[in-house]
């Protein structure tokens, strides 16, 4: 018996090891050897709720963009994992061996750091300096934070309200005000939003460039632009602080000169590297009132409507019934909990499938959330699905509102007993749940007694199966770590999926070809090749152009003929989107695109 306890303890130990997951903060680059003038990407990722990200000092490299922040969520068997990623695009400036120091971040109150990354920079293309010469003027870059410049250039966190209820949405816009020319900019610190659930507002018009406008502030006119807009939902009552956004800006300022030639040709100027920082903003979050709070209230704050529907009112036992609850409105719709439902006891209920359709604007989050329940009645009869009571708090009126859906009458006819013998009874049998409460049947057949150990329990096969358990656990643990390591390499993952993504676009293009939709056909071919090259060559989609594509393909040692075919096909698709093309058929273009992707896949 002691052996059994030892094996059971061993299995429990291995199970606890597998369940425990350490939060990891990792750093990686897409290449460790680069040439001067060559771009490369640095990625930092953490698989947990984090704050206070501090990037390393990228000495020896020029920061072209970053940090580019992205968040992904994965839910497996009810366990949700949040992964935050911070990426930078750097360019090597001079030859030598350099070290990208460790980045730091705070996770659950614990400070984590990444490992340092060693980089080797070899001779490549000459690097142009960011400051230039103009008409012989005396140009220089000065580190500065003067009072005069602070009045002409600053960042301000603008909120639409500072006093809100718990769960009420508000919008913060990190807005830059300037009365001077900005040559270059770099985001140093993303504002911390601790204490808030947040959703960024993504405006398609602002994905390519910032939209500038003129605004009067304290009697002066400024050029202003919203750098980042976010919708916030306070997660707890009290004073919550929106931390500052920090940026480094390169500003060109004129220099007074007594030289008449300088004045005639525009004068001298200096370039000042100026650090701007928004002031923190305090939000006062009030707790929801207890007076009048209904029992059906589950945290919804905003203005909502509810409607319910079913796909049938009559069915047979053991057939599926779909019950849909749709909540629409504006507010913390993505934070809603599962609505309280009361289905008949004979109905088997599965967890609902939740579908969100929302839009994020400066006015807040609005849209709908749909709960799809799968119900299976197990017995015939007449049943009623009771109405749902859904309550929410309306901050505008400062009152609780309770909505009630309609009830549904369901008729369940007799089903087939063989479909589910554990839930149905035949004409001459009682239900199993009744038999379980009655006298059990007396066994009248021959019975034989056996000594303990004569059967499977306690045999060699029994102990062999117990021993296999830890081996399988070890194998599963190693496989999981290997998959995590492979998936952490973002560049490799994008490279592997490049062909599949391109195949989807080409499949869509083939449908448009059969439908004789010329414009959509060329659009899909163009997107398919561009998206493929972006993933395969690890170049941001927005940075793709003819010169970048040609240089990257030649770097991969592809022949000139293949590079020319790629550029010709892209030019043809680009031209066909705006003017008719007659010298080549769409079928030939389609085959040409497939051949290009196939050739690149074979050679890279």
DSSP states of 278-293: PPPEEEEEEPPP-TT-
Residue matched to tokens 């896949």: 601
Residue 160 structure tokens: 């639409």
pLDDT (mean) for 91-103:
88
CB of 529 closer than 8 Å to CB of 503: no
pLDDT digits (tens, 9 = 90+) for 293-332: 999 999 999 999 999 999 999 999 999 999 999 999 999 9
Enumerate residues 6+ apart whose C-beta is below 8 A from 330: 169, 302, 303, 304, 363, 364, 365, 366
CA distance 96 to 353: 55
Token pair of 362 as six digits? 């400066």
Residue-by-residue DSSP string for 473-498 = HHHHHHHHHHHHHHHH-HHHHHHHHH
Residue 301: per-residue pLDDT: 96
Are 316 and 348 in contact by the 8 Å Cβ rule? The answer is no
Question: Coil, strand or helix: which one is 172?
Answer: strand
Most distant pair of Cα atoms in the chain: their distance: 122
Q: Higher pLDDT residue, 321 or 584?
A: 321
User: Model confidence over 435-466: pLDDT tens digits?
Assistant: 444 455 555 555 566 665 566 666 777 788 88
Burial class from Cβ neighbours inside 10 Å (0-12, 13-18, 19+) for residue 535 reads buried
Q: For the chain, what is the mean pLDDT?
A: 79
By mean pLDDT, which of 172-176, 198-202, 235-239, 354-358 is the weakest?
A: 198-202
Please check the confidence at residue 347 and state whether its pLDDT lies above 70. Answer: yes
Q: What is the DSSP string of 16-40?
A: HHHH-----EEEEES-SEEETT-EE
pLDDT recorded at residue 173: 94
On the question of pLDDT at 397 being above 90, the answer is yes
Q: Which residue has the higher pLDDT, 559 or 225?
A: 225
Task: Determine contact, residues 390/300, Cβ cutoff 8 Å.
Answer: yes
Rounded Cα distance, 205 and 542, in Å: 14
Nearest partner of 51 among 92, 86, 101, 96, judged by Cα: 86
Provide CB contacts within 8 A for 359, sequence distance 6+. Answer: 365, 366, 367
Q: 417, 424 in Cβ contact below 8 A?
A: yes
Pairing of strands 39-46, 347-349: unpaired
Q: What is the pLDDT of residue 145?
A: 47
Average pLDDT, integer, range 43-63: 82
77 vs 425, residue with greater confidence: 77
Helix (H, G, I), strand (E, B) or coil at 506: helix
Name the strand (E) or helix (H) holding 523.
helix 518-537
Overall average pLDDT of the 176-205 stretch: 84
How many other CB atoms are found less than 10 A from the CB of residue 369?
A: 20
Q: How far is CA 158 from CA 177, 212, 228, in A?
A: 12, 16, 11
| Closest residue by Cα to residue 241 from 157, 169, 168 | 157
Q: Whose CA is closest to 249, among 155, 183, 162?
A: 183
The bridge status of strand 281-286 relative to strand 238-242 is antiparallel
Least confident interval from 13-27, 375-389, 470-484: 13-27
Whether pLDDT at 581 is above 80: no
Query: 582-590: which pairs have CB atoms within 8 A and are 24 or more residues apart?
Result: 586/513, 586/518, 586/521, 586/522, 587/513, 589/522, 589/525, 590/506, 590/509, 590/510, 590/513, 590/521, 590/525
Spatial distance between the Cα atoms of 26 and 103, rounded to a whole number of angstroms = 9
Q: Which stretches of 259-320 are assigned E, i.e. beta strand?
A: 268-277, 281-286, 297-310, 314-316
Backbone φ, ψ for residue 96 (5° rounding):
135, -175
Token couple for 523? 């659009």
Whether the ω angle into residue 67 lies within 30 degrees of 0, i.e. cis, is yes
Q: Positive or negative, the Cα torsion across 434, 436, 438, 444?
A: positive
pLDDT level of residue 551 (50, 70, 90 thresholds): confident
CA separation, residue 495 to residues 30, 246, 308, 534 (Å): 11, 34, 45, 9
Query: Among 12-16, 223-227, 483-487, whose mean pLDDT is lowest?
Result: 12-16
Residue 578's pLDDT band, with cuts at 50, 70 and 90, is low
Q: Looking at 101-152, which runs of residues are DSSP E strands? A: 104-107, 110-113, 117-122, 141-144
How far apart (Å, rounded) are the C-alpha atoms in residues 339 and 325?
8
Q: What domains, with CATH codes, occur in the chain?
A: 23-122 (2.60.40.10), 141-286 (no CATH), 297-415 (2.60.40.740), 490-603 (1.20.120)
Its sign, for the CA torsion 16, 18, 21, 22, is positive
Residue 16 has pLDDT above 80, yes or no: no
pLDDT value for 196:
93
d(CA 118, CA 98): 6
């Amino acid at each position: 018996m002691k052996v059994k306890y030892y094996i059971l303890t061993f299995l429990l130990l291995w199970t606890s090891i597998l369940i425990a997951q350490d939060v990891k903060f990792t750093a990686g680059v897409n290449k460790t050897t680069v040439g001067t003038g060559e771009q490369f990407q640095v990625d930092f990722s953490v698989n947990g709720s984090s704050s206070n990200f501090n990037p390393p000092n990228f000495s020896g490299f020029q920061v072209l963009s970053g940090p580019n922040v992205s968040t992904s969520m994965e839910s497996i068997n009810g366990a949700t994992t949040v992964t935050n990623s911070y990426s930078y695009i750097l360019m090597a400036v001079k030859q030598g061996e350099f070290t990208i120091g460790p980045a730091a971040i705070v996770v659950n109150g614990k400070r984590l750091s990444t490992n340092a990354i060693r980089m080797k920079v070899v001779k490549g293309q000459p690097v142009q300096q960011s400051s230039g010469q103009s008409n012989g003027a005396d140009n220089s870059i000065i580190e500065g934070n003067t009072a005069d410049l602070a009045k002409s250039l600053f960042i301000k966190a603008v909120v639409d309200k500072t006093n809100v209820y718990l769960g009420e949405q508000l919008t913060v816009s990190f807005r830059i005000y300037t009365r001077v020319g900005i040559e270059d900019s770099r985001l140093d610190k993303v504002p911390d939003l601790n204490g808030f659930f947040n959703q960024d507002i993504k405006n398609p018009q602002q994905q390519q460039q910032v939209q500038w406008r003129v605004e009067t502030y304290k009697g002066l006119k400024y050029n202003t632009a919203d750098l980042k807009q976010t919708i916030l939902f306070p997660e707890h009552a009290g004073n919550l602080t929106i931390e500052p956004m920090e940026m480094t800006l390169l500003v060109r300022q004129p220099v007074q000169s007594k030289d008449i030639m300088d004045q005639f040709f525009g004068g001298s100027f200096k370039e000042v590297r100026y650090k701007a920082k928004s002031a923190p903003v305090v939000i006062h979050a009030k707790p929801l009132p207890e007076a009048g709070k209904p029992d059906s209230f589950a945290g919804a704050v905003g203005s909502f409507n509810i409607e319910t529907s079913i796909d049938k009112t009559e069915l047979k036992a053991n057939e599926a019934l779909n019950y849909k609850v749709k909540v629409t409105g504006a507010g913390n719709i993505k934070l809603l909990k599962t609505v309280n439902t009361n289905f008949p006891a004979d109905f088997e209920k599965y967890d609902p499938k939740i579908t969100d359709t929302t839009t994020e604007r400066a006015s807040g989050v609005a849209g709908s959330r749909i709960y799809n329940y799968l119900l299976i009645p197990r017995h015939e009869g007449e049943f009623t699905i009771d109405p749902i009571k859904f309550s929410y708090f309306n901050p505008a009126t400062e009152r609780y509102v309770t909505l009630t859906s309609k009830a549904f009458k369901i008729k369940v006819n007799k089903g087939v007993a063989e479909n589910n013998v554990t839930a149905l009874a035949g004409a001459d049998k009682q239900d199993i749940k009744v038999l379980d409460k009655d006298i059990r049947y007396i066994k009248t057949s021959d019975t034989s007694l056996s000594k303990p150990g004569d059967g499977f329990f306690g045999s060699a096969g029994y102990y062999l199966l117990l021993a296999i358990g830890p081996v399988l656990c070890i194998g599963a643990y190693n496989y999981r770590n290997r998959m995590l390591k492979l998936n952490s390499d973002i560049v490799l993952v994008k490279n592997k999926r490049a062909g599949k993504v391109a195949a989807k676009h080409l499949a869509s293009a083939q449908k448009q070809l059969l439908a004789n939709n010329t414009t959509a056909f060329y659009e899909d071919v163009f997107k398919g090749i561009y998206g493929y090259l972006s993933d395969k060559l690890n170049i941001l989609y927005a940075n793709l152009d003819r010169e970048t594509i040609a240089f990257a393909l030649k770097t991969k040692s592809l022949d000139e003929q293949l590079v020319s075919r790629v550029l010709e096909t892209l030019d043809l698709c680009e031209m066909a989107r705006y003017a008719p093309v007659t010298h080549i058929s769409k079928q030939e273009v389609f085959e040409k695109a497939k051949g290009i992707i196939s050739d690149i896949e074979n050679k890279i």
